[in-house]
Amino acid sequence: MKKSVLTRYRIMAYVTGVLLVLLCLGMIAKYALGMDGAADATRVIAIAHGWLYVIYLVFAFDLGSKAKWPVGKQLWVLIAGTIPTAAFFVERKVSAELDAKVAADGTELAKA
């Protein structure tokens, strides 16, 4: 497995997580606080999160396939992009696990 596969997953996990947190804050501002300008910002953030989440799904599925994860773990990683702040925790756990795996098998990284 190439290190770049993990890197692009990590980037998209952070982007997806940040946009989802911003979307939640925008929804709170729009509905709970009644802020007028929040509707436009929320719309833009929602569209951006939707499109970027699809890219996150592709990268996360690619990572899971190359890491040979069981279906349950792969589903959890895929769903993490829809739960506010979950993408940060899941990304950290996955990165630590795969960094250790790549470090233990230096030949695999050298081939990539």
pTM for this predicted structure: 0.85
Question: What range defines the domain where residue 70 resides?
Answer: 3-110
Report residue 47 as tokens.
């569209």
pLDDT in tens, 37-65: 888 889 999 999 999 999 999 999 999 99
Instruction: Give the pLDDT score at 38.
Output: 82
DSSP letters spanning 37-48:
THHHHHHHHHHH
8 Å CB contact between 79 and 61: no
The tally of domains found in the chain comes to 1
